[in-house]
Amino acid sequence: MPPVSPARRANPPGPTVLFRPECVASMLEARGTVAGRLTQPDTGAFVPGMAYAIRIHRHGGPDCLVREEVSVSEPGPGEARVRQRAIGVNFIDIYQRTGLYPLALPAVLGQEAAGVVEAVGSGVTEIAVGDRVAYAGLTGGYTDVRTLPAERLVKLPMGIDDEIAAAIMLKGMTAEYLLRRTHRVSPGEAIVFHAAAGGVGQIACQWARALGATVIGTVGSPEKLDVARRHGCDHVLLTDASLPARVRELTGGAGADVVYDSVGRDTFEASLDCLRPRGLLVSFGNASGPVPAFLPLVLTTKGSLFLTRPSLVHYVAARADLVASAEALFAVIRAGHVRIDVGRRFPLAEAARAHAELESRRTTGPTILLP
C-alpha cells in the first residue's frame, strides 16, 4: 500500500479527488518523483491509482494552472488506462482556461495525448495492453496517466512517434475534416488559410498543397513569413488591411474559393472580402476573440457567400470517422506530404509557460508537454 499522507486522509480518493494546493508541495516532497511521476520513497515504484495533473479551479490567466495530485480510476467496462508520454497543447485549452468555453470546475485541461495502454477493462476490443495509442477531444489530457473510453483511442502505426502523435491528433484531424469534408479541396482551387505558421496551419497548408490547391497563408508578423512558406504556402501575406486586395491580385481578380479562418473577430470581415462570389468561409476558431453577431444579408451583398462554423467533435463522433480521419492523417505524414515540426516542448509542470507563449503568438507549429 502507498503511504497515506495527511492530505490524503483529509481528501479521500474518488473520481475528482481534491488536494488543497498548500498540501501538494509537502506531498511531493514526501513521495519523490521519477520523470515527474509519483513514486514511493522506499521502493521508487510508481504510486498506483495516482497521477500528476495540471488543473484549474477558476477561469483566468495562465497562473490558474496548478499542478496537483489526482486519483486515476481502474478501467471499467469499455475503458483503458494510458501512461501518457507526450501531450498536445491547443488553443482550445486557452478558451477553456479563460472561460470562453466554460468547464465544470475544477478541471484538468488538455485535449490530446499519446502513450501506452497499461490496463483495459472488460469488453475492450479496439486496443490491448502494450499498444501505443493516441486520442483527441477528451478533456483532461494534462496528466501523466489517465483512464479513458477505449473507443476514442487510435492505435499508432510505425513512423508516428509519441511526440509527433501528441502534436497532430487534434490539429491534424482538424486539417483532415476541413480540407476533405467541410469542403473537398480540389486541384486548381485557391484557398486562404489564416495563422498559417501555427499548429493547425502548418499541417493544413502542406496538406492543401498536396491536394493541388494554391495556398495563400496569412501570418501576424514578418518573422513568421518564412515559416509559413516552408510549410505548404505558395504565397504568404501579413494580416493587415491590404489582405483582400492582395488575395484578389494573387487570384487574377477572382477572389479565393475558400477561406479558412481560425482567428475570428479580427479577420472575419476581411475573410469575407477575400472570397469569390459563392465562395465559402470556414470560420473554425476564435484566437482573437469570437466573431460578433452580424446580419446574414451581408453574405448576399458580398456575393451570395457560404459560411460554416464547424467543430472537430462533429466530424469524428462515430468511431469509423475517427479512425478514418486518423488514418488519412497518418498516411499523408508517412507519404512525406506533411512534415511535422514540433515547435516547442515544455515539461508538463510548465504548462502555464506553454499557454503564455501560445496565446501571445510567440509559437510556431505544434507545442507539446512532456510528463
Binding stretches for ligand NDP (CB under 6 A): 90-92, 170-171, 174, 195, 197-201, 219-221, 224, 239, 262-263, 266, 284-288, 310-312, 358-359, 361, 363
Nearer to ligand NDP, 8 or 97 (CB): 97
Q: Which three cell numbers stand for residue 46?
A: 510508481
Rounded CA-CA distance 114/85 in Å is 6
Minimum distance from residue 326 beta carbon to ligand NDP (Å): 14
Q: Which helix (H) or strand (E) holds 314?
A: helix 312-315
Long-range contacts of 219-223 (CB under 8 A, 24+ apart): 219/195, 220/195, 220/361, 221/361
Minimum distance from residue 200 beta carbon to ligand NDP (Å): 4
Minimum distance from residue 290 beta carbon to ligand NDP (Å): 10
Rounded CA-CA distance 202/94 in Å is 19
Reference 176, options 275, 310, 268, 276; nearest CA is 310
Minimum distance from residue 175 beta carbon to ligand NDP (Å): 9
Backbone angles phi, psi at 279, to 5 degrees: -75, 170
Nearer to ligand NDP, 147 or 174 (CB): 174
Nearer to ligand NDP, 27 or 215 (CB): 215
Question: 3-class SS at 184?
Answer: coil
Q: Are 115 and 146 in contact (CB under 8 A)?
A: no
Rounded CA-CA distance 127/132 in Å is 9
Nearer to ligand NDP, 7 or 86 (CB): 86
Q: Which three cell numbers stand for residue 247?
A: 488575395
Minimum distance from residue 238 beta carbon to ligand NDP (Å): 9
Nearer to ligand NDP, 29 or 63 (CB): 63
Nearer to ligand NDP, 246 or 361 (CB): 361
Minimum distance from residue 164 beta carbon to ligand NDP (Å): 15
Q: Give Cα separations from 315 to 69, 158, 170 (angstroms).
A: 34, 25, 12
